[in-house]
Structure 1
Amino acid sequence: MKGRNMTRWRDPAKDPRQEKKSNLITPQGYARLKGIHDHLSRVRRPEISAKVGEAAALGDRSENADYTYNKKELNRVIARIRYLGKRLDELQVVDRLPADTGRVYFGAFVTLEDEDGEEMRIRIVGHDETDTSKRWISVDAPLARALLGKALDDDVTVAAPGGETTYVITDIDYREPQ
C-alpha cells in the first residue's frame, strides 16, 4: 500500500529521534522560549484567526486560497503553541553555578585545542537552545557527553564522522546566570 501517509520503517533502538532529550535549560533559554510562546499565543494566533475569519466571510472556501493558506498557518501556529506549552512544563532551569567550577558541567564555556593546535570555543546548553553559529552544543551531543566532568588540561577523544578526534581542554568558564 503506497500513499502520502506511508513512512519508512525505522528501528526504534537505532532511531536518533527516539533518544531521550535532557530537560535542562539555561535561564536565558527558558526566557527566550517563554517569549516565543507568549508572542505566538497573544499576537500571532489572533492575527491569523482574524485573517481566516475575513477570508471565510468572502464566500466559497473551496476555491479561496487566502482561507486555505491562513487556515494551514493557523494550525501550524496552534501546534507550535501546544508543543512549547508542554515543553516549558517539562524543562528544568539550571540557575546556579556548579560547586566545582574547575570541571565541565552544564552551561560551561569550554575552549578546546585539537591536534593541529586550532582552538574552538563551545558552550554546553540544553537541547532547545543549541545554535551552531554561536557554537552552542546540546548536553546530549557526543562531544558534550565526553566533556562532562572533565577538568582543565584533560584529553578528550570523540568519535567524529571523519574518525576519532582528540581535544585538550584549555579553558573552562562559567558566567553568572542573570
Structure 2
Amino acid sequence: MSKSTYYTGEGLQRLADELKDLKTRGRADIAKQIAEATDKGDLSENAEYDAAKDAQGHLEAKIANLANLIANARIIDESKLDASKVGILSKIKMKVPTGAIMEYMLVSAKEANVRENKISIDSPIAQGLLGKRVGDVAEIKTPRGMIKFEILEISL
C-alpha cells in the first residue's frame, strides 16, 4: 500500500482532471496510432506498431500511477493549520542576505511549480523552513552553500 500524500483541493482536482484526460483523449490517441499502424500490414516488422504499443504501455502505467496517487491522497484541512509557524500550505515572505525578498508557498511535491512560487515540502529549502516563526533565521544548505533566510511573514 502506498503512503498518503497531502494535497490542496485545487491540487487534487488537477490530478483528477489529468487522469480523466489520459483515460479519454490519451487512450483515444493511442488507439488511433495503433489502428493506423495495423492498417500498414505485417505487424512482425512494423516499427510504428511497436512504437504505438510502447506508448500505450507508458500511458497505462501513467494512468495507474495517477489513479494510485488519487486513491491515497488526503486533502489538507486548512482550518487546522497553524499560521504562526511554517508548515504545509504556508505562504512565506523571507529575506536573503542580498536583501532580496522572496515569497514561496510550501505544497506537496506533485503540486510544486516554481513559476507559481510553489515549492515542494520535501525540498531542502522547505525542510529548513519547517517549524520556523516570524523573525527566525533559517540557515539552509543549498548548492551555492549555506544561505540565511530571515522569515518576515507567514500566512495561509
TM-score by length of 2: 0.88
Structure 2 Cα separation of the partners of residues 99 and 134 of structure 1? 21
Supply the AA of the counterpart residue of 2:109: H
Q: Which moved further from structure 2: 20-29 or 153-162? A: 20-29
Q: Where does structure 2 lack aligned partners over 5 or more consecutive residues?
A: none
Cα 1:165–1:21 change in 2 (3 A) is: farther
Other-structure match for 1:16: none
Q: Where does structure 1 lack aligned partners over 5 or more consecutive residues?
A: 1-19
Aligned to 1:111, which of 65, 73, 93? Answer: 93
Q: Which moved further from structure 2: 62-71 or 107-116? A: 62-71
Q: Secondary structure at the match of 1:106?
A: coil
Q: Secondary structure at the match of 1:97?
A: helix
Other-structure match for 2:38: 56
Other-structure match for 2:114: 132
Cα 1:102–1:166 change in 2 (3 A) is: same
Structure 1 residue 99: Cα displacement: 4.5
Other-structure match for 2:135: 153
TM-score by length of 1: 0.78
CA displacement 1:31-73 (0-9 Å, x = unmatched) = 1111111110122112311321332133112343332222222
CA displacement 1:9-39 (0-9 Å, x = unmatched) = xxxxxxxxxxx98712111111111111111
How many residue pairs get aligned? The number is 155
Supply the AA of the counterpart residue of 2:89: G
Q: Secondary structure at the match of 2:79?
A: coil
Other-structure match for 2:22: 40
Other-structure match for 2:83: 101
Structure 1 Cα separation of the partners of residues 13 and 57 of structure 2? 24
Q: Is the 8 A contact 1:152 1:172 kept in 2?
A: yes
* Percent of aligned pairs with the same amino acid: 28
Structure 2 Cα separation of the partners of residues 96 and 115 of structure 1? 32
Aligned to 2:73, which of 66, 91, 95? Answer: 91
| Higher-helix-fraction structure | 2
Supply the AA of the counterpart residue of 1:40: L
| Higher-strand-fraction structure | 2
Cα 1:145–1:21 change in 2 (3 A) is: farther
Structure 1 residue 146: Cα displacement: 1.9
